[in-house]
Amino acid sequence: MIGVAGSPSCGAVFDLDGTLIDSLPDLAAALNRSLARHGEEPLGRADVALMVGDGAAMLLRRGYTARGLEASETDLALFLDDYEAHVTDLTEPYPGIPQALVDLRAQGLVLGVCTNKPEASARKVLAALDLERYFDAIIGGDTAPHRKPDPRHLQAVLTAIDVGASRAVMIGDHRNDMLAASGSDVAGIFVTWGYGRAEAAYQVDRPAELPMMIETVLNGS
């Protein structure tokens, strides 16, 4: 068990896209269907990967900019509706994530999700992949008034799971995750299997490494 019996709970807060789930195939497909409505050629997944991490509106804006277009509010509304309808078509958990969540719960950790994805979409995909049950709170980009990298987004999750900053870690694949962590005085753990790049004191290459890394960080080893 992490921590000392009778002490306040410890928690791990996860980013969603690129950390828990590989949603790039569905995100890229939805973006390219949106571009196709304007007669534009599709973007490659590697290009779309570099656009992920700041929410749906920014993803659409970046995709349209890459094709010399400007996305309208109508484009965004259609994109969101289309993505919501296909959010679980191709998306899967990263190999090893379900077992890592089982292990973390067995260690006594309280778990939360801090994502810039809309909460309804986040819950839909987590439920479809049988991951929602592991989390005590899921705070999306439209749930709280602030979004990553604003540390108040992460702080809202910590409040929801009733865990103090000194007893929590933030796990993510994007610079925004690490900025939210540092701005909240929370230890950040960067995962290398996702879509982004970031500098962090702690890094893991496989989900199986998470339980030991989190224990090391929280116990100050």
What local confidence, expressed as pLDDT, does residue 62 receive? 97
User: Structure tokens of 178?
Assistant: 């690490």
**pLDDT less than 70: residues of the chain:** 1-7, 221
User: Structure tokens of 150?
Assistant: 């604003």
Q: Which of 15, 22, 75, 177 is catalytic?
A: 15
What local confidence, expressed as pLDDT, does residue 54 receive? 85
CA 26 to chain centre: 15
- Could you give the C-alpha distances from 200 to 38, 157, 174, 176, 207, in angstroms and in order? 40, 21, 10, 12, 17
Residues paired with residue 92 on neighbouring β-strands, in sequence order? 22
Annotated catalytic residue 15 = yes
Tell me how many helices (H) and strands (E) the chain has: 9, 8
What local confidence, expressed as pLDDT, does residue 55 receive? 83
What local confidence, expressed as pLDDT, does residue 6 receive? 44
What local confidence, expressed as pLDDT, does residue 4 receive? 42
Task: Please state, as a whole number, how many other Cβ atoms lie within 10 Å of the Cβ of residue 73.
Answer: 8
pTM: 0.92
SS3 content of the chain, % helix, strand, coil (to 5): 45, 15, 40
If residue 198 lies in a helix (H) or strand (E), which one and from where to where? none
Q: Which domains does the chain have, with CATH numbers?
A: 11-22+92-218 (3.40.50.1000), 24-85 (1.10.150.240)
b vs e for 87-103, b when ≥16 Cβ sit within 10 Å of the residue's Cβ? bbeebebbeebbebbeb
If residue 60 lies in a helix (H) or strand (E), which one and from where to where? helix 56-66
What local confidence, expressed as pLDDT, does residue 7 receive? 56
